[in-house]
Structures are given as C-alpha cells and as structure tokens.
Amino acid sequence: MTAQTLDSATQQRVEQWLGGNYDADTKEAIQHLLDAGNFNELTDSFYRDLEFGTGGLRGVLGVGSNRMNRYTVGAATQGLCNYINRYAEAAAFPGQDISVAIAHDSRRMSPEFARLVADIFSANGIKVYLFSALRPTPELSFAIRQLGCQSGIVVTASHNPPEYNGYKVYWNDGAQVVAPHDKAIIAEVNKITSVDDIKFDGVPERIQLIDEEIDAPYIERVKSNAVNPDVIKRQADLNIVFTPIHGTGITLVPRALEALGFTNVHIVSEQATPDGNFPTVKSPNPEERAAMQLALDMALAINADLVIATDPDADRVGAGARNHHGEFELLNGNQMASLIIYYLLNAWRDAGKLTGKEFVAKTIVTTDLIDRMCERYGVNCYNTLTGFKYIAEVIRELEGKEQFIGGGEESYGYLIGDFVRDKDAVASCAMIAELTAYAKDRGQSLFDMLMAMYQENGFFYEALVSITKKGKSGAEEIQEMMAGFRANPPKEIAGSPVVRIDDYKALTRTDAQGQSSPIEAGKMGIESSNVLQFITADGTKVSARPSGTEPKIKFYVSVVEPLASKEAFDDTYAQLKAKVQRVIDELKLI
C-alpha cells in the first residue's frame, strides 16, 4: 500500500525510521499514520530532510525527517558540535576552553529541545551554559560574549504559528553565524546520515545552569543605554502598557523598565503567562494590530501614553501612541527605527559625543530617512542585506575603529549599543519608553516627535507588498517576475525617471546613462543576493526581494515629500499613500 501511495524516496525514509534506533513512541506515531492511510501527512513529514539553513532550523513539530523532533534537532546539533570541535582542533580558538550558551522561548517543546541540545553538546566534550528557564533571544547573544563562549543556540521559531519551532545558531561574537561558518556548519550537518551518529547521552557535570548571573549585568547594560536619566526621573509615572504576547518578554522587559525608573507599567494580564499555544491571538506577531488589540484596549481604558509589545522570543517590538487626533496609532518598523535613531543622534550631538567616528547600521530595505538624518549629523550609515546578522557583521568589522550608536530594520527589530549583536526588544522597549518620556517632558507625544522628525528631514512613507506564489509553478513565476524586471527595468516610476538600478545578485549599480559600476563584493554586510532596487529622481525607491524561505516575493515601496507643518500632516500623508498606490498599479505589483 505504501509503495502505491508514497514515492520511493519517502517510503525509504519511513522504513528507515521504523527500522532504526528511534524510540517506541515515534515508531508508534508513524505506524498510526500508515494504518490510518494518512499518506498526505506522511509525505509532508518524510519527503525531505528538514533543511538546516544559514541561520539554523525551523519547521513544524512532529515525527519525521521534515519535522522538528529530537532526531532532526539532534542531527543538526551533532553536526554543529563536529564543526566546533574540528574548528577548535585547527587551533582557531587558541587558549580557550570550548563552551556554548543555550536559551529557549515559550514555545511547545522549547524547554525539552534546549535540554536535548545541552546533552548533545556535553556528550561531545563541550561545556554548556544553559538558562534555567525561558529567556529573550538578545540575552542569549549577550551571554555568549559575557561568558566567553564560542557558540550559542536559542530554541525559538520567532513569531511563527504555534505548530512551529526551530533554533538559531550564534558564533563567538554573539551574532548569528555568517560566512564562512554558516555554509561550513551546513556541510557538517549534512554528513549526519544516521541517528546512530548522534551522541544523545549527556554529561551532567559539563552542563551549568545560569540565570541571575547573566540577568543582572544584562539589565545594567540596558540601563546604561539611557541618555537622559534626569528626564526619566521627572517622567517616572509615564503611563505604559506592555504585553509579552505569551512570550519571553515577561522575564526582563518589566524589570528593565523598573531599573530605568519607570513606576507606572501596566502588563496585559491575559497575555502575561508564557504559553506556546498563544491562546489570545491568531499570530503572536507585534507587526499585526490584532496581536496588540488587548494592549490597545487597556491603553484606551487607562489613558496610557505608550503601548509596547514583544514577540515570543523578545527580539522584535511593536509600539503605539496617541496621534494628533487623540487616537492610538501603531507605528511601523520604519517609523520606530527612525525615531530611535533621531532621538539618539540628537542626544549624542547635545552631549558633544559626535566626533565623526560614530555609525548607524540598517538594511537596504529600511527607510532612507535614516540615511538622510545620519548625513545631517555627520554620522556614517552602513546599509546591509536583509537580516540582522549582517548588521552584526558590520559592528564586528568596525569594532575599535568606529562606535556603534544604534540600528535596525523595517521588520520591527532594533539595536542600541553593541553589547548585544542581534535585534533586542528588551533594550528597545526601554529606549522607546525613554524617548516617549522625553517628548512628554517637552509637552509632546511620541507622535508629535514623529511629525517633528518629518518636518526636519522629509516625510518618508513606506509600504510592503507581499505576494505568495505556492508550489513549483509559483516559484517559477517569482523567478520570471525577477527576470522580467532585469530584462525590462522601468524607465519611470510614478512620473519620476529612474536614475539608478541596484542589482544585488549581479552586484552592479547602473546610473541614468546606463553606465554600470560594481557594488563591492565582500563589502561589509553585502554579498550576492537576489534583490533589485529602482531609485527615481524624486527619491522614490522600489525594492524587489524573493523570500529565501517562503514561496513569496516582497516589494518594498518608499516615497517622500516635504512636510511643511504638523497641520499639513494629514494632507501630505494622503498624497504619499496615493503615490504608493500609483507605484503599485504602474508596476502591476498586485
């Protein structure tokens, strides 16, 4: 029956699991699928091996080679162990005892996977620092550097649906792995072809539980980011609503706000308990208004000044404040990243700390408003490919040469200071509270600060168009769209001539006269990637980027107009939205 229903490769994997050294519960679950004739589920569970990508693992929980379970997690971890040990044997870590740090979020099976990973590392002769309970992803990044570890893992699937889990791999600088380690680790993972290759039997004496000895110094470093502590003292009763959306933010965000001196923080009780089923939301993603609705309802009820929400592993943060109409408005990732940088640039200038050797880092699809502000303040702004690991790469390359002020990306991830090397929602919540307090101290709201920033630097408005094309035909259609844009790029967008085309796949930049020059290969945070950008004379920018992990293509549209006054905000906003729609219609993006 299986031979008639399953292809040969899938059938072979099923039989390998039924006959191999897998536990009885796993074999029973597979047999149950066979007996029930659930061949669609069997195929999806076994048609391939769960891919260990450049960042680590992510997949649906369940039995099978294409699912997150103790065996797929075990194989990935064994491959990582082999790489670390061989790297160490090559004298790459001279005079260092090899160790790793491990953290996990609130998802189903996260604690169990974290312990499993710890056991495998310890069985491979590697010292393990394991957080005793769930912790935010940025604290894992901090712990690696604080403890002098060579690598680290956080068990998380970020804000994916409840049926997912995964893990991200970090290197000794506290950043997610980049070249050459990423592909070298993948090669080692792919060599693990049998469950018998995995060393499951942990060595308890090599596993050390950690918590407060990392929590306390991490909170102190978050506190040290504050640039106007006197303002916080005056505005200690700033009315803040916070929700961790059932995730790890509950462990440290309230504590960080308290450490700064904020005394009036209200936590959404329905979402305060860590729960991998995320019972109050369809998606635990602070980018979506529905995930923040309970917090917004509370904010309205208690007349709050600020709403903040963190995703399950507390590396992304969403925020909302009252607009000039008295309504709570959620700020998108471009707006909040810009506000943080605007506040920091002003604070550093006022403190006389800008020497010409400071920098900001962001991704190429994040608003150019940040570039414009940095230019005004004489601060370098480095643009990287999408992914915070590239921002971390820039920080590492410039360490000791230039000082990092802050950075971020449009997908709600920000970083202040360099003691963490990944996006940090805990530190970001603290900074967002501080800049809201700063605005209130001057008789303004956070939204007033936003409008002032636009008046000074231009009103930048961004929109994201995400198109899903499923299946083999969908993937081909996405490639055809990119090929079409390369073969016949637009000459004009929304009435403005295209003056520059950046092709990050070919690493070429073409000007209005058709002259091409190279985008430097090997430049910090830049490598060949299937991304196209079209920039017009009036500052409109359209970026096309197929997803590397999903059947999607994303178009990032950015337009800009001067903002004459706060009173002109609504009319200018309407003009910008209309212009974005024109871009979408002209390029047939929907």
Q: Are residues 62 and 28 in the same domain?
A: no
571-576's contacts with Cβ under 8 Å and 24+ in sequence apart are 572/459, 573/459, 573/461, 576/459, 576/461
Q: Are residues 406 and 534 in the same domain?
A: no
Mean pLDDT, residues 43-55: 89
Q: Are residues 122 and 166 in the same domain?
A: yes
Residue 104, phi then psi, degrees to nearest 5: -150, 160
Q: Are residues 33 and 61 in the same domain?
A: no
Residue 3 above 60 pLDDT?
no
Q: Judge whether 71 and 23 are in contact, CB under 8 Å.
A: no
Residue 390 above 60 pLDDT?
yes
Q: Are residues 76 and 206 in the same domain?
A: yes
Q: What CATH number corresponds to the domain at position 489?
A: 3.30.310
Q: Are residues 82 and 40 in the same domain?
A: no
Q: Judge whether 506 and 512 are in contact, CB under 8 Å.
A: no
Mean pLDDT, residues 191-195: 94
Q: Quick check: bond before 180 cis, omega within 30? A: yes
Mean pLDDT, residues 191-198: 95
Residue 522 above 60 pLDDT?
no
The reported pLDDT for the residue numbered 459 is: 98
Decide if 516 is inside a domain.
yes
Residue 2 above 50 pLDDT?
no
Expressed as residue numbers, the domain containing 145 is 51-210
Indicate the residue among 419, 440, 457 that finishes a domain. Answer: 457
Q: Are residues 513 and 539 in the same domain?
A: yes
Q: Which residues contact 584 (CB under 8 A, 6 or more apart)?
A: 463, 465, 555, 557, 590
What are the start-end ranges of the E strands in 530-570?
532-536, 541-546, 552-561
Q: What CATH number corresponds to the domain at position 163?
A: 3.40.120.10
With the CA atoms of 170, 174, 176 and 181 taken in that order, what torsion angle do they form, in degrees rounded to the nearest 10? -70
Q: Are residues 65 and 203 in the same domain?
A: yes
What are the Cα distances from residue 166, in Å, to 160, 163, 249?
10, 11, 18
Residue 420 above 60 pLDDT?
yes
Decide if 255 is inside a domain.
yes
* Local confidence band at 4 (pLDDT 50, 70, 90 cut-offs): low
Cβ of 489: how many Cβ atoms within 10 Å?
A: 13
Q: Are residues 35 and 81 in the same domain?
A: no
Mean pLDDT, residues 331-359: 96
Mean pLDDT, residues 382-396: 94
Q: Which residues contact 81 (CB under 8 A, 6 or more apart)?
A: 120, 121, 124, 126, 199
Residue 427 above 60 pLDDT?
yes
Decide if 159 is inside a domain.
yes
Q: Which residues of 414-437 are buried (b: 16+ CB within 10 A; e: fewer)?
A: bbbbbbbbbbbbbbbbbbbbbbbb
Q: Judge whether 9 and 47 are in contact, CB under 8 Å.
A: yes
Decide if 231 is inside a domain.
no
Mean pLDDT, residues 226-230: 96
Q: In terms of pLDDT, which residue wins out, 7 or 256?
A: 256
- Is 470 in a helix, a strand, or coil? coil
What are the Cα distances from residue 559, in Å, to 338, 463, 538, 578?
15, 9, 8, 10
The reported pLDDT for the residue numbered 1 is: 39
Q: Which of these is catalytic: 158, 411, 428, 445? A: 158
Q: Judge whether 57 and 76 are in contact, CB under 8 Å.
A: yes
* Local confidence band at 367 (pLDDT 50, 70, 90 cut-offs): very high
Number of domains in the chain: 4
Q: What single letter denotes the amino acid at residue 208?
A: Q
Decide if 265 is inside a domain.
yes
The reported pLDDT for the residue numbered 548 is: 67
- Is 359 in a helix, a strand, or coil? strand
Residue 525 above 90 pLDDT?
no
Q: What single letter denotes the amino acid at residue 415?
A: L
Q: Which residues of 110-134 are buried (b: 16+ CB within 10 A; e: fewer)?
A: bbebbbbbbbbbbbbebbbbbbeeb
Q: What is the pTM of this model?
A: 0.95
Residue 498, phi then psi, degrees to nearest 5: -75, 120
Decide if 298 is inside a domain.
yes
Q: Are residues 143 and 180 in the same domain?
A: yes
Q: How far is CA 282 from the centre of its chain?
A: 20
Residue 521 above 70 pLDDT?
no
The reported pLDDT for the residue numbered 550 is: 67
Mean pLDDT, residues 66-91: 94
Decide if 432 is inside a domain.
yes
Indicate the residue among 415, 432, 457 that finishes a domain. Answer: 457
Decide if 556 is inside a domain.
yes
Catalytic: 45?
no
Please state, rounded to an integer, the average pLDDT across all residues of the chain: 95
Q: Are residues 136 and 265 in the same domain?
A: no
Residue 82 above 80 pLDDT?
yes
Q: Are residues 320 and 402 in the same domain?
A: yes
In angstroms, rounded to a whole number, what is the distance separating the alpha carbons of residues 434 and 342?
13
Mean pLDDT, residues 50-66: 91
For the chain, what percent of residues have pLDDT higher than 90?
88
Q: What single letter denotes the amino acid at residue 177?
A: V
